[in-house]
Each structure stands twice: as C-alpha cells, then as structure tokens.
Structure 1
C-alpha cells in the first residue's frame, strides 16, 4: 500500500486534537499487575495507604472504553476517533519519553487524576518495507496537587509484510549488564497484561490472528510491558530510587516463543554520579529488542 499525499494531508488535520479523561488511582489494578508479574501485593487492600504508584504503572489507568461494535478487525478501536484513521494495517507502540517534573508530587493511591492528550504530529516516512506513518501523542497527567507526569508516546503504522521482504539485520545487545532478570512470556502473562490494560490488540493473545494475518511467528510481547519490566528492574536493584526521566525505543519484537532478559547498568562514562542508567531488553539469542535510558532523582 502506498500512502498518497492527499491522504497524508488529511491525517495531519488531526494535529492539535485534544482529549481529556479522568480516573482515580485505585488499589485493585496495582495488586493485579503485581500478581501478574509474580510480585507480592504492593498495597494492603483492607487498609490502603498513600502508596506512590510505581513508575509506568499509570498505564493501568485512563483505559479506553470503546464499545464492542466500535472494535476493528485487529482488536483496536476503529480508526478515526481521537487518533487519525491511518490506512495501514499494523499498529505498534514504538517508544516514548516520560518526565516526572516534581519529585514531591508522585501519583498516590487514592488520587483523583486527569490526563490531557494532544496529537503533536503526524509524519510520513518511506522505509525499506514501505510507507510508515508516525503519530506523536503528548500526555500530561495531573492530580490534585498539580502536574505529576509528562509523557510523549510514539505510535508507528506500517503495511503488512510482502512475500519478498528481507528481515532487518538484528543488533547485538550490550554485554556489560550489572543487573539482569529473565522473563518467560507465557500466553497467560500476555493475556493478563492485555486484560489489565483493556488492550484488545489481537497480536498479544490471538495466535491464529498474529501468525496467519499479521505474519509473525508468535504472540508479541507488549512494548509497555517490557518497558515496565525495565523500570521495575532499576527500582528493585537500586533501593529508594525514583525516576526523573525515562525514554525507550522498541528495536525488535519479542515473542512468547522464548524467554527474554531485561538488563541495566549505570552509565558512569556519561554521568559519574551514577544517576543515569542504561537499560535494555534482549532476546534468547542476545539480540537487542528494546533500548532505554533511566535518569534518577
């Protein structure tokens, strides 16, 4: 499929579109994700405390509420609402950047929260495998004390693979990790994370769809799930740390066919203070699948 200039111009009419949603930081999603990741409960449900929400766990809130009749063939809401109606079949979370501007104002259990989302840009690129459309969405999340989180979310749309498409040459992962954790991405784990984030995208739980329609070898591990595991590794390896900045980029899909490993090491070369952490995920063959940087307060 080739994207015509008039189509690109039409999609760019979505730039500046804004959506505002409200939610509350409740206990149940936190403990459900903790159970899904094989952690102990983080909050005592009978006596909930003002626990600071772990970084990236805000993705448990502000969930989409598209009605069943509004769902498209890939499991996502039909296109043309808040997001532009990009006429390419594959949609992926390509990466993002997050900033916590006020360390004294974390999101806490019980907080009433507001998210303001804005389409910042819609850009077209011609890649080796065809046209790509990148949509940049900016989110600001506030609680009763003010701004708590700024997030830029990169979404990429692409065509289905062609029969003669050559695979992208993989990148070897770094070999200097100080902290590591190996994850076995079972189909139950992927299903539970999809359920917790109300994500109907069939590539994460429908094996027939992902292999026969989208042409992948197995179920795809959610990019946000991998990013969450990267940040959790940093939090669990460095006591009492909080994040100031985190950015990540998906390099290569991870599938449920084999374990993968999340890794981290302080970047002493660029930051002698030890507050900049290089973080990445690698597959069972040692190929880089996600690259990230965490900056601590």
Structure 2
C-alpha cells in the first residue's frame, strides 16, 4: 500500500453563502414544522454539511458515484469502501442566513492499520468555517475510513443501551435517503442503487447515510430541548443501518454540565452510532 502520510498538512479553502432554501428542505426531510428561515436567522447546527458541496462534472465520477479519487484527499484506490466514521464538532459562533462563509480544511492525520478484514486507512480532516478572514464559527474534525472488499460489508452490532428517556423511532425509506442525498449532492450509489449496493459492495440494503443518522440524533436534542444552544457534538459510527428496517434515536436527559448521551440502534437492538452533545 502507498504511504499516504505525505498528504498530512495539505489544505483547501472553499467559499459559499448560507442559503435558506436547502435548510428549509432539510427541516422538511427531518419532519420538522419550523417556519421558513429569513435573512439574518440563525442556521441550525450542522448546516455547514449542506454547503461547500462537491461540483465535479458527471464525467469525473467514479464507479461508486463519488468523484474519482485524488486531489485534496489521498487517492486510496486499493480500498474501495469508504465511509464517514465520525466527527468532533464545536460551535463557538453562529452561521446566519445570507452570510458569506469560508471553509478552511486541513488534512490533520492519516493512519494506516490492519484490521480483522485487512488494511484500513483513516483520514482526519479539520474544517474551520467562518466569515472570510474571520474566526471559526464551526469547527468540524471529520474522520473518513477506507476499507477493502474482503470480509462482510456490515459486521454484527454490539448491543445498544436500554431505551433512553428521549426516544424517536423511524423507518428510513428510499425517499428519505434520496432527499438527503439530493440535499448534500451525494452521488454515492450505496444510498440509492440497490443492485450496485448488493452486488458490488455486499450490503443487504440501501445504506442510511452516517451524517443523516448524526443529524437525526442532534435533531432529537433540538426536539427535547428546543430553547437550548448546541455548544459541541461528537459521534462515532458503529454499524450501518439499512432502509426499510426500523431504527431508533435515543438520548439521556442532560447531566449537570449539559452533556447529553445519544445513540442510534437498529431493529435488533444493536448499536449503530454513539454520540454526545453539550448544550447551554
């Protein structure tokens, strides 16, 4: 395997504008009844995941629907499975509708490991989002993992904790996955192409996006504590979720410091994602 450590330290800068329309459609996708956002309104947490989207032409896409590998991220060609493994986020400020924003990205770390099913490559990208030249309003350390095709695509999940004081059950269907893919301009075929997903990557169903699960977990906090500010959020993917199968997002009531334990479980009670938010 190539030495991808040489990618550490690479940077990239992109600019965008906080636009109300996609954020209103995200609220609709989450089954929220928020009023339409207006210029100057505070954008919801994780709004930056709908910005700075890839814009490669159709001819530049690979067989999995993603852009062909290379460019800013290391080109891990020999490990075709790719997933968003987790993030650690802080929200020191607020993004607002109409604001011009800049995302400054740094490849902070690359690690190559051997797992039960072969080689793995972990890439950590640190994103800082704020007004051009201004301080970071959002800090997002994003972990990406690359895996080979050896072994099962989805390992068995460990048992999730008992149902939380906060709980919401959802059955993700192809329409939900399509809408989220459209909002994030995500062409990865595992979220909408059942034949590709089964025959090429070996999954038993369409895969629910990791960031969608994380968004549903943080949305649970917003439903249960609508007046609270989200100061920080972190999550780690544990096992995939699939369309047509019941899932649940759970949360424990905040502790004395405002920390909220969160987790997503699959239909069999297995742990799909664990997370924590800090509210003020």
Normalised to the residue count of structure 2, the TM-score between the two structures is: 0.95
Contact 2:54 2:185 survives alignment (8 Å) = yes
User: Is 1:174 aligned with 2:167?
Assistant: no
Counterpart-to-counterpart distance in 2, 1:189 and 1:166: 22
Distance in 2 (alpha carbons) for counterparts of 1:260 and 1:27? 29
Superposition deviation, residue 167 in structure 1: 6.6
Provide the rounded CA distance (Å) in 1 between the counterparts of 2:187 and 2:163. Answer: 37
Deviation at 1:161, TM superposition (A): 3.1
Residue of structure 2 in register with 1:186 after alignment: 173
Q: Is the 8 A contact 1:139 1:150 kept in 2?
A: yes
Give the C-alpha shift of residue 49 in structure 1: 3.9
Contact 2:153 2:203 in 1 (8 A): no
**Structure 1 pair 217/109, CA: closer, same or farther in 2 (3 Å)?**
same
Counterparts in 2 of 1:216 and 1:176: CA distance versus 1, 3 Å: closer
Which of 109, 113, 132 is matched with 2:101 structurally?
113
C-alpha spacing 1:238/1:36, structure 2 compared with 1 (3 Å): same
Distance apart, 1:257 and its partner CA? 2.8
Task: Go from structure 1 to structure 2 and tell me whether the alpha carbon gap of 1:27 and 1:245 turns closer, same or farther (over 3 Å shift).
Answer: same
Map 1:134-149 → 2, pairs under 5 A: 134-143=122-131, 146-149=135-138
Question: 1:38 aligns to what?
Answer: 31
**Quick one: structure 1 residues 146 and 166, their matched pair in 2 at CA, closer, same or farther if it must change by over 3 Å?**
closer
Provide structure 1 residue ranges, at least 5 long, that are not aligned to the other structure.
Answer: none
1:15 lines up with 2:8 in the alignment: yes
- 1:110 match: secondary structure: coil
Give the match for residue 85 of structure 2: 94
Counterpart CA distance in 1 for 2:70 and 2:136 is 29
Q: Indicate the RMSD between aligned Cα atoms, in angstroms.
A: 1.6
Q: Is this contact kept in 2: 1:30–1:42, CA < 8 A? A: no
Please name the residue that 2:74 is paired with.
84
Cα distance, 1:141–1:119 mapped onto 2, change above 3 Å: same
In the other structure, the counterpart of 2:115 is 127
The 3-state SS of whatever aligns with 1:294 is strand
Q: Distance in 1 between matches of 2:167 and 2:252?
A: 9
**Contact kept in structure 1, 2:156 and 2:239, CA below 8 Å:** no
Shift of 1:166: 9.8
Instruction: Find 2:21's aligned residue among 10, 24, 28.
Output: 28
Q: Partner of 1:266: helix, strand, or coil?
A: coil
* Offset, 1:198: 0.4
Contact 1:43/1:51 (8 A) holds in 2: no
What pairs up with 1:37-76 in 2 under 5 angstroms? Answer: 37-44=30-37, 48-76=38-66
Structure showing greater radius of gyration is 1
> 2:146 and 2:237 mapped to 1: Cα distance?
14
Q: Deviations over 1:199-233 (max 9, x none)?
A: 00110011010001000000000000010010010
The question of whether the paired residues in 2 share the 8 Å contact of 1:107 and 1:148 is answered with: yes
Structure 1 residue 169: Cα displacement: 4.2
Matched, 1:239 2:222: no
- Alignment partners' CA distance in 1, 2:124 and 2:161: 28
8 Å Cα contact 1:161-1:215 kept in structure 2: no
Is 1:286 aligned with 2:277? no
Structure 1 distance, partners of 2:157, 2:34, is 37
Q: Contact 1:118–1:138 (CA<8 Å) still a contact in 2? A: yes
Matched-pair contact (CA < 8 Å) for 2:14–2:52: yes
**1:151 matches 2:140:** yes
Q: State the shift of 1:14 in Å.
A: 1.2
